Amino acid sequence: MAARSENAESDGSPDLPDCGDAIDPTTFEQILEMDDDEEEREFSRSIVYGFFDQAEVTFTKMDAALDTSDLPTLSSLGHFLKGSSATLGLTKVKDSCEKIQHFGAMKDENGTHDVTDRQRCLQLIRDTLKKVKVEYKEAEKILKRFYHEPDMPQ
């Protein structure tokens, strides 16, 4: 994890965390490039931590919406988190959110075919939500390490 890839092409050559496929380096890098100070990284840090808050809140709302079987809300929450995770380059999170969006709209995971069974949609969302939380945690860990924050106790 401590290994970092140096991006020679960009002038800022921000140190990207070695994040595997959790985070899309190109997307994340363009946000890092916006940092005025490469030590402080105030801008990207605030974006990323703002996203953490947003994600936590959204997950809570998703849980609540699952409890009430509120598919439309689940769909729109999925869409909402999809946007920000995509902008940060959290590819996996984004993909899962997109699926939740589709399931919530009673579609299959690609959004191409209708799914008529509500319970099935809810179950799919339940599974996907579980998965996306894990994916989020993984990305969060990487990002927090990148911002030099000690790991959260497991």
Q: Give the interface with another protein as residue ranges (CB under 8 A).
A: 9-12, 26-27, 30-31, 33-34, 43, 46-47, 50-51, 54, 76, 79-80, 82-84, 86-89, 94, 98
Q: How far is the CB of 18 from another protein (least distance, A)?
A: 21
95 versus 141: smaller Cβ distance to another protein: 95
Q: Which is nearer to another protein, 15 or 126 (CB)?
A: 15
Residue 117 has, within 13 A of its CA and on its CB side, a CA count of: 6
Instruction: Decide whether 45 or 126 has the Cβ nearer to another protein.
Output: 45
In the complex with another protein, which residue's Cβ is closer, 20 or 50?
A: 50
Taking CA atoms, 27 is separated from 52, 70, 100, 102, in Å, by 17, 32, 22, 24
Virtual torsion, Cα 144, 148, 152, 154, nearest 10 deg: 90
Query: Least Å distance between CB 154 and another protein?
Result: 27
Distance between CA atoms of 38 and 10, rounded to whole angstroms? 13
In the complex, what is the shortest distance from the CB of residue 119 to another protein, in angstroms, rounded to a whole number? 26
Burial environment of residue 113 by CB neighbours within 10 A (0 to 12, 13 to 18, 19 or more): exposed
Cβ distance 125 to 133 under 8 Å? no
Residue 133 CB, shortest distance to another protein, in Å, is 18
